[in-house]
Amino acid sequence: MLIRDRLLEAATKVFACTGYRGATTRRIAEAAGVNEVTLFRHFGSKDALINQALGCAGDRNLSHLPAHPRDPVAELTRWSAERFRNMYESRQLIRKVMGELAEHPEIASVVAKACPSDDFSELSEYVSHLRPLRSTHRGDVQAASRMLMGVLFAEAMYRDTMPELFHESVDDAIGDYVRVFLRSVGVEPRLQKAAAAGD
């Protein structure tokens, strides 16, 4: 791994554990296995390193919903589970960033990348292609999409800290959220099954 990449990875990990103040250049350099001079040679300052590291932390390589829905339950369940796992794996960093927002508002982009507007737009677009399966065109697609994204975020952030709220497995919970989401946008259970059977 390149020294620059090691520094970015170390900065992310140290920040996730100690926050902005605790993420000293000395600690980051030690975690990367280099000296502070090397850190400054590559990034110039702690701020530049932290901002770049947090920006990279949100980069994701996630699959997308298909342009033409065939099996809404399976497609949305897979998509939702992938987003949940991405946020869950980054939960310590996201929590730390959220705790630091008042003092360092410039780092808000990390939370935004963890649950980005692109996902919201993609979900809303997908629902627009479900029209033939919708028993009604009523239902606020944007509100339903926000709720699904919100519950996935809450599941990722609180499942390990508030286990009493989560009595079912992650997979069962995500399946339930997807079914409720589809009903809320007018795709009734019988139509969800019909879509899958029509293949």
Do 98 and 49 share a domain, yes or no? no
pLDDT tens for the chain, residues 1 to 199:
799 999 999 999 999 999 999 999 999 999 999 999 999 999 999 989 998 888 787 666 889 999 989 899 999 999 999 999 999 998 998 899 889 888 988 777 766 665 566 888 899 899 888 876 655 555 688 899 999 999 999 999 999 999 888 878 999 999 999 999 998 888 876 555 544 445 4
Do 170 and 115 share a domain, yes or no? yes
Do 23 and 119 share a domain, yes or no? no
Name the residue range of residue 49's domain: 3-57
d(CA 167, CA 171): 12
User: Looking at the domain assignment, is residue 66 inside a domain?
Assistant: no
Do 131 and 105 share a domain, yes or no? yes
Do 53 and 94 share a domain, yes or no? no
Do 106 and 80 share a domain, yes or no? yes
Which pLDDT belongs to residue 197? 46
Do 76 and 13 share a domain, yes or no? no
Do 41 and 125 share a domain, yes or no? no
d(CA 157, CA 192): 29
User: Looking at the domain assignment, is residue 62 inside a domain?
Assistant: no
C-alpha torsion 39→41→45→51, nearest 10: -70
Exposure b/e, 160-196, CB count within 10 A at least 16 = b:
eeeeeeeeeeeeebbbebbbebbbbbbbeeebbeebe
User: Looking at the domain assignment, is residue 67 inside a domain?
Assistant: no
Do 52 and 8 share a domain, yes or no? yes
**Distance between alpha carbon 187 and the CA centroid of its chain, in Å?**
25
d(CA 79, CA 64): 7
Which pair of structure tokens corresponds to residue 115? 């649950």
Which pair of structure tokens corresponds to residue 195? 């879509």
Domain count for the chain? 2
Strand ranges for 56-132 from DSSP E: none
Please state whether 186 falls in left (phi above 0), alpha (psi between -120 and 50) or beta. Answer: left
Q: What is the CATH number of the domain that holds 14?
A: 1.10.10.60
